[in-house]
Amino acid sequence: MKTTYRECVRQALREALLRDPRVFLMGEDVGRYGGCYACSKGLHDELGPERVRDTPLSESAFVGAGIGAALGGMRPIVEIMTCNFSLLALDQILNNAATLRHMSGGQFEVPVVIRMATGAGRQLAAQHSHSLEGWYAHIPGLRVVAPGTLADARGMLPTALADPDPVLIFENALLYNLEGELPEGAGAVDIDHACVRRPGSDVSLVTYGGSLPKTLAAAEVLAAEGISAEVLDLRVLRPLDGAAILATVDKTKRLVVVDEGWRSVSLAAEVVARVAEEGFFSLDAPPVRVCSEEVPIPYPKHLEDAALPQVPKIVRAVRQVLHG
């Protein structure tokens, strides 16, 4: 079936709402407006304002309310328009959602799902272009996932809702228009494992989310040069699937990590550190990271492009690990 990433998200939301009366969706303009990325279009009219609930611009209050409602027996899906605004709710996510199980000695749980758009690339300038999934992946108590394919956009939500712990879903805004085939009857997928999206033997490209299409495109360019790149999609940013990372590096002996987060103290740094600690002797060359430059994202296209991971940069990085 031909569809889009956006439609996969929408179908997943609809199915979740229809299946479980404890599930409700809330966020800014998710109801009548249909979501600022149109991910909930039509759901308000179909299911009503109780189940598809518009909130005021009060990120801290409605994210906290989602956490509280989860604590109270519901299965809320909270949409934060973009991760840029999640900073206003960071206290609730970090100090409540992530800690309640532990602080209460395991008495309470917070089965909330928080979805948000992430990423740059649309000339929205510094305050609207953050990639904060790596920050959230730093936090014990959260599960952080980044659907990079249609099947994951469709299938991660039901699994996240079934999880007894808080799950954050990061949807790269550039993926919403992604088109492709979704198998008939596609449904829940696991949120534990990374996945090899393209097998290869010369180098491992480890990535996730919005960088996945770029990385696959780079692998295509490399194939034309006779270089066989394996592309590993992390899918789950916390807890990381360390075994899958080590397995691909063990196979190819070379590692390039592609991550739209800033380079220093990043998710990419964590991947490289894991390989350094546990897979050091399988490496034939120093790993290379392709990340965002250490600058708030600038507005002009030429500067924004230069600040972000791009196919030519990934290709150059691969040549570097292969040829020094």
Ligand X SMILES: Cc1ncc(C[n+]2csc(CCOP(=O)(O)OP(=O)(O)O)c2C)c(N)n1
Q: Note whether 33 binds other proteins by CB under 8 A.
A: yes
**Quick count: other Cβ atoms within 10 Å of Cβ 165?**
17
Residues 305, 129 contacting (CB under 8 angstroms)? no
Closer to ligand X at the Cβ: 37 or 85?
A: 85
CA pair distance 165, 20, nearest whole angstrom: 17
Helix (H) or strand (E) segment spanning residue 302: helix 301-307
Amino acid at 79: E
Closer to other proteins at the Cβ: 5 or 62?
A: 62
Determine which residue in the list 22, 102, 122, 193 makes contact with other proteins, applying CB under 8 A.
122
Of 265, 273, 315, the closest CA to residue 290 belongs to 315
Closest separation in Å from C-beta 57 to ligand X: 5
CA pair distance 29, 55, nearest whole angstrom: 7
Burial of residue 300, with CB atoms counted within 10 A of its CB: 0-12 exposed, 13-18 middle, 19 or more buried: exposed
Closest separation in Å from C-beta 88 to other proteins: 7
Closest separation in Å from C-beta 292 to other proteins: 11
Q: Note whether 85 binds ligand X by CB under 6 A.
A: yes
Residue 129 token pair: 């272009």
Give the active site residues.
Answer: 59, 128
Q: Note whether 103 binds other proteins by CB under 8 A.
A: no
Using CB under 8 A, which residues numbered 266 to 295 contact other proteins? 293-295
For 217-230, b where at least 16 C-beta lie within 10 A, e where not — what string?
Answer: ebbeebeeeebebb
Closest separation in Å from C-beta 169 to ligand X: 18
Determine which residue in the list 14, 101, 128, 316 makes contact with other proteins, applying CB under 8 A.
128
Q: Which stretch binds ligand X (CB under 6 A): 81-89, 176-184, 249-257, 299-307?
A: 81-89
Q: Select the residue whose beta carbon is closest to ligand X and give its number.
A: 85
Q: Note whether 163 binds other proteins by CB under 8 A.
A: no
Of 203, 144, 162, the closest CA to residue 23 belongs to 162
CA pair distance 16, 29, nearest whole angstrom: 19
Q: Note whether 226 binds other proteins by CB under 8 A.
A: no
Q: Note whether 306 binds other proteins by CB under 8 A.
A: yes
Determine which residue in the list 4, 123, 228, 282 makes contact with other proteins, applying CB under 8 A.
123
Q: Note whether 164 binds other proteins by CB under 8 A.
A: no
CA pair distance 163, 219, nearest whole angstrom: 34
Residues 199, 162 contacting (CB under 8 angstroms)? no
Using CB under 6 A, which residues numbered 27 to 46 contact ligand X? 28
Edge-first strand listing for the sheet containing 203-207: 195-198, 229-233, 203-207, 255-262, 288-292
Edge-first strand listing for the sheet containing 113-118: 52-54, 23-27, 75-82, 113-118, 167-172, 143-145, 236-238
Q: Note whether 165 binds other proteins by CB under 8 A.
A: no
Using CB distances below 5 to 8 A depending on partner kind, what does residue 54 bind out of other proteins, ligand X, none? Answer: other proteins
Q: Note whether 81 binds ligand X by CB under 6 A.
A: yes
Determine which residue in the list 88, 139, 188, 240 makes contact with ligand X, applying CB under 6 A.
88
Q: Note whether 62 binds ligand X by CB under 6 A.
A: no
Q: Which residues are at the interface with other proteins (CB under 8 A)?
A: 28-29, 32-33, 36, 54, 56-61, 84-85, 88, 122-128, 293-296, 298-303, 306-307
Residue numbers at the binding site for ligand X (CB under 6 A): 28, 57, 59, 81, 85, 88
